[in-house]
Structure 1
Amino acid sequence: MFRVKICGITNVDDALAAIDAGADAIGLNFYAKSPRCVSTDVAREIAAAVGDRALVVGVFVNESPTGMMGVATEVGLAALQLHGDEPPEMLARLPDRPLIHAQRMGAAGLAPIVADLAACRAAGRAPDAVLVDAPAAPGQYGGTGHTLAWHELASEAAALGATPLILAGGLNAANVADAIRAVRPYGVDVASGVESSPGKKDADLVRRFVAAAAAALADG
């Protein structure tokens, strides 16, 4: 599983800049309503350029298992991230690749996320990691720039047990170290926090983010 993922990559240059900065994963978004959505042709080009230098993760929102596996095979995705409202039983229908299950932490804290994790196990497959994101308006799925209540998450994180926690939601180069020190996640995920505009990464912000995240993760 990854420690630092730069998500919402839309072109080869940004992908290579992220890897050169030290990111060990990139995210390719296949949700049509996202400003960071990429076609399978562009995604295949990016994945080919990245090769085995980083984990290439496909981000999907309420896509069918058949659709996800078709894209994964065509593009060459190493892992899948379910970032919508996918039911627990769907994970068991995706047996061939590591799965990151994204969840939004609202006023109820981690309790609904822990319950969903148990339901996934009962249905036949638990995710390989849980990505905890900030709450969003209906129809929004990540990349909003909204920040989580880190200390509230930290107080409940042990409930996830051995499942790796990936922290997302409003992270940027200025706050990621504080977020990591507060929550002690396995890894972090960023999209809008390192952009000059939606879908276009700022290489300097990426370098600063990765450096700050890597240093804080190493201290943990």
Structure 2
Amino acid sequence: MRVKICGITNLEDALIAIDAGADALGFVFYEKSPRFISPQKAKEIIKELPPFIERVGLFVNETKKNIEDIYKYTNISLAQLHFDIDKDFLESFEIKVLPVVRAKKKEDILKFKNYYRLVDAYVEEFGGSGKRVALDWFKDVDCSKVILAGGLSPKNIEEVKKYGFYGVDVSSGVEAYKGKKDPNKVKEFIKKAKSIE
């Protein structure tokens, strides 16, 4: 199972996550988030990262042009579209994008079912709240293209492994405080997510 550590705001947290085995790092380009990072700061961190790490930019209610400009400027490798979009908007990009489904009910998790997608619990403030999606919604659903987010932590990550998710995405569940990661929680989360039962 792939692991993304989201809400990276500094190089130290980025390197700790990579050393612990993270497959991807997330940078939040949404100014209202306590984990917001400027494109310039993200670019500086990304420049120092080793190869083969996915660099994900999180965007909320942004125009296609802004997303593509920040993508190229910062050298992220994937744009995570954390707002309500349709298939036409998704397919209009030349760059690599990941749709986010903010699920209110079971049927929502099937939106974009033929695409890799991130499924998060619906919250007004666009994520980072620690709210969880009901796991029983995923029973008998093909989760091989689903990245699960929302309310994950070292305490509950093992509950999700039986569903066969492509990956998991964690932010607040491995923090010391908003915007700063707890190295021990990061290590424990990744170790448990990647251990074979």
Report the TM-score when normalising by structure 1.
0.84
Q: Secondary structure at the match of 1:73?
A: helix
1:38 to partner: Cα distance: 0.4
What's the counterpart of residue 182 of structure 2? 202
Task: Answer whether contact 1:7 1:190 (CA < 8 A) is retained.
Answer: yes
Matches for 1:74-113 after TM superposition, within 5 Å: 74-97=73-96, 99-106=97-104, 108-109=105-106, 111-113=107-109
User: Which amino acid in the other structure matches residue 131 of structure 1?
Assistant: L
1:53 to partner: Cα distance: 4.0
CA-to-aligned-CA distance 1:128-148 (integer Å, 9 cap, x gap): x11111121x3x111110112
What's the counterpart of residue 54 of structure 1? 53
User: Which amino acid in the other structure matches residue 121 of structure 2?
Assistant: A
What's the counterpart of residue 121 of structure 1? none
Task: Answer whether contact 1:4 1:188 (CA < 8 A) is retained.
Answer: yes
CA gap of 1:164–1:207, structure 2 versus 1, over 3 A, is same
Cα distance in 1 for partners of 2:92, 2:34 equals 28
Cα distance in 2 for partners of 1:71, 1:147 equals 29
Matches for 1:136-175 after TM superposition, within 5 Å: 136=123, 138=124, 140-155=125-140, 157-158=141-142, 164-175=145-156
Greater CA deviation, 84-93 or 4-13? 84-93
What's the counterpart of residue 42 of structure 1? 41
What's the counterpart of residue 157 of structure 2? 176
**2:194 maps to 1:214:** yes
Task: Kindly report structure 1 stretches of 4+ aligned residues shifted beyond 6 Å.
Answer: none
Gaps of 5+ in 2: none
1:113 to partner: Cα distance: 4.1
More helix per residue: 1
Task: Answer whether contact 1:154 1:184 (CA < 8 A) is retained.
Answer: no
CA-to-aligned-CA distance 1:102-156 (integer Å, 9 cap, x gap): 11222x31x2343x427xxxxxxx64x11111121x3x1111101121122234x
User: Which amino acid in the other structure matches residue 179 of structure 1?
Assistant: V
Gaps of 5+ in 1: 119-125
Task: Answer whether contact 2:101 2:108 (CA < 8 A) is retained.
Answer: no
User: Which amino acid in the other structure matches residue 28 of structure 1?
Assistant: F
User: Which amino acid in the other structure matches residue 133 of structure 2?
Assistant: L
CA-to-aligned-CA distance 1:39-82 (integer Å, 9 cap, x gap): 01110011111141411011111111110010010000111111
Task: Answer whether contact 1:26 1:55 (CA < 8 A) is retained.
Answer: yes
What's the counterpart of residue 10 of structure 1? 9
1:100 to partner: Cα distance: 1.6
Report the TM-score when normalising by structure 2.
0.93
Task: Answer whether contact 1:59 1:82 (CA < 8 A) is retained.
Answer: yes
CA-to-aligned-CA distance 1:167-198 (integer Å, 9 cap, x gap): 111000111011222x2211100000000111
* RMSD over equivalenced CA pairs, Å: 1.7
